């Protein structure tokens, strides 16, 4: 059984920050990514947390992502913010964009942010959660390199393309958080199984011939299974329209992979919609949201999307997060 070491969220953030800076990331770009890493670990999504720091460091060193990038923020229309991430980390580009998006959405009622020339944004729900913490309904989309084949085909043409919605609770937190990819499972989970030499459950991946497999390596060379069959492909396509087409970013079908060192910068995109609840709800937002949440929680054993992450977050703030000792050793070697 793997041994673990418990770290506080502040220690996780510091460790991630130091490793990123040592790899060649500017402090300004490293900080939002380190904060997101701690938030991700707090939410219990370990596959996207500290486990990604060695990959990020490797990608800075090989040039797949520019650790010194200076994102360029524009406001082409009154309620539209755009950011050219300049092939740098998505997190710092989104951070810059949110600085304009949040006050703009509160003023206009609704505002959008489009990010292009970007990179893997990690857990999308971390970003929509930040909009909810600011009192806004946050809706987010991010495209990824192709890993899902269209219905009737075996060649991947579109990414796992997550979308996320976070609703504010009126007290500086999210009351409800939906964060899901268009595939049955996030690709990072398959990569995690491959690193650990473990088979994946049936229904996660297909091999290069489009046949079901439990071999994660074969799945990574093949395609991800879309959630709900053709409906999952429709979700992936919807996200692609917003995060790539509307953002002017690289399509998943031609973007370089987020894994490995080959292919240069992926130049993918993100798209966020921020809505002020009082702009549309006639002052009934919190009341209706509470009723909606109660309709789930009043059923014995029922769970609402985001409940698990919320419970993990509360526990992590008090007790810290157990981190795999071998992973910790690997990350600490980078600092």
The residue written with tokens 């796992």 in the block is 160
From the candidates 11, 18, 26, 47, which is the catalytic residue? 47
Residue 199 DSSP class: P
Torsion angle (degrees, nearest 10) of CA 119, 124, 130, 131: 100
The backbone region for 318, taken as left when phi is positive above 0, alpha when psi lies in -120 to 50, beta otherwise, is alpha
Q: Is 189 a catalytic residue?
A: yes
The bridge status of strand 80-84 relative to strand 110-118 is parallel
Q: State the catalytic residue, choosing from 174, 189, 223, 259.
A: 189
Our measurement of the distance from residue 321's CA atom to the centroid of its chain's CA atoms, rounded to an integer in Å, reads 20
Name the helix (H) or strand (E) containing 141.
strand 137-142
Cβ-proximal residues to 266 (8 Å cutoff; 6+ apart), any chain: 64, 118, 119, 120, 145, 250, 255, 256, 257, 258
Active site annotation includes 28: no
Check if 127 is active-site: no
Catalytic residue among 41, 48, 127, 147: 48
> Dihedral of the CA atoms 315, 317, 320, 324 (nearest 10)?
80
DSSP state of 63: T
Catalytic positions: 47-48, 189
């Amino acid at each position: 059984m793997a041994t673990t070491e418990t770290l506080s969220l502040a220690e996780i953030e510091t460790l991630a920050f130091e490793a990123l800076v040592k790899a060649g990331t500017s402090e300004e770009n490293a900080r939002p990514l380190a904060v997101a890493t701690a938030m991700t670990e707090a939410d219990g999504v370990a596959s996207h947390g500290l486990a990604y720091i060695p990959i990020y460091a490797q990608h800075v060193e090989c040039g797949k992502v520019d650790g010194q990038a200076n994102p360029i923020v524009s406001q082409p229309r009154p309620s539209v913010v755009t950011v050219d991430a300049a092939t740098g980390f998505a997190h710092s580009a989104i951070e810059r964009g949110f600085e304009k998006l949040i006050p703009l959405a509160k003023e206009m009622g609704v505002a959008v942010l489009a990010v292009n020339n970007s990179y893997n944004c990690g857990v999308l729900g971390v970003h929509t959660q930040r909009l909810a913490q600011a009192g806004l309904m946050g809706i987010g989309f991010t495209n990824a390199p192709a890993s899902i084949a269209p219905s009737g085909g075996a060649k991947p043409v579109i990414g796992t393309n997550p979308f996320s919605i976070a609703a504010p609770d009126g007290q500086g937190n999210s009351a409800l958080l939906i964060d899901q990819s268009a595939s049955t499972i996030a690709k990072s989970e398959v990569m995690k199984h491959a690193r650990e030499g473990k088979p994946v459950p049936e229904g996660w991946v297909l091999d290069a011939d489009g046949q079901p497999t439990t071999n994660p390596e074969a799945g990574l060379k093949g395609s991800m299974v879309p959630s709900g069959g053709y409906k999952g492909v429709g979700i992936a396509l919807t996200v692609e329209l917003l995060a790539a087409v509307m953002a002017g970013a690289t399509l998943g079908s031609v973007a370089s992979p987020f894994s490995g060192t080959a292919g240069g910068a992926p130049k993918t995109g993100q798209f966020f919609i921020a809505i002020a609840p009082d702009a549309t709800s006639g002052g009934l937002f919190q009341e209706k949201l509470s009723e909606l949440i109660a309709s789930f929680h009043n059923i014995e054993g029922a769970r609402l999307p985001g409940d698990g992450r919320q419970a993990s977050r509360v526990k992590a703030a008090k007790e810290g997060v157990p981190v795999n000792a071998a992973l910790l050793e690997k990350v600490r070697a980078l600092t």
